[in-house]
Amino acid sequence: MTRFLLDRMLGQTTKWLRLLGVDAEYAPTDIDDDELMKISSEEGRILVTRDKELAQTENAYLAPKKDAVEVVKLLLEEFEIELNPMTRCTLCNSPVERVLKEDVLEDIPEGVREQQDEFWRCVSCEHIYWRGSHWDNILETLQELMPEDKLPKA
């Protein structure tokens, strides 16, 4: 399975990849090119960067200066990627798991409590997800990126 390491400036691309369930790490803030390449080779990740020199190295990909969704489209064309939307935390790249509403009641705002029944929690940072008011926008973009039969059910 293709895994990625995204260089600085590609934070939004990282988020979209994670939303699609793709294993995408984001470069730590204070890291130099050598360390970045080391992580990419040790963890077997394709390094996605806007740095032309860095992109010359093995297992690196030069991301054009396009918007995040366009870059994701290019990556989907270029690499073999399995899509599992809503399975990964957009904040920390760890898996999320379905949780029962009653188990997260304390941790969600009241308005959400009334309107939502399905919840997911990150196994690592414990961030809780639901399909809130932004979900329609997210789904619209996911529709652009992936085949209909792979889309999460509304």
Give me the residues that bind Zn ion (CB under 5 A), please.
89, 91-92, 94, 122, 124-125, 127
Residue 41, token pair as written in the block: 């080779």
Residue closer to Zn ion by CB (options 60, 96) is 96
Phi, psi of 36 (to 5 degrees): -60, -45
Residue 68 or 128 having the CB closest to Zn ion: 128
Query: Rounded to whole angstroms, how far apart are CA atoms 136 and 131?
Result: 8
**Rounded to the nearest whole angstrom, what is the least distance from the CB of residue 13 to Zn ion in the complex?**
18
- Least separation in angstroms between residue 93's CB and Zn ion is 7
CB closer to Zn ion out of 23 and 37: 23
| Coil, helix or strand at residue 12 | helix
The stretches of the chain forming alpha helices (DSSP H) are: 11-19, 33-42, 68-78, 101-104, 110-115, 135-145
Taking the complex as a whole, how short is the minimal distance between the CB of residue 125 and Zn ion, in angstroms?
3
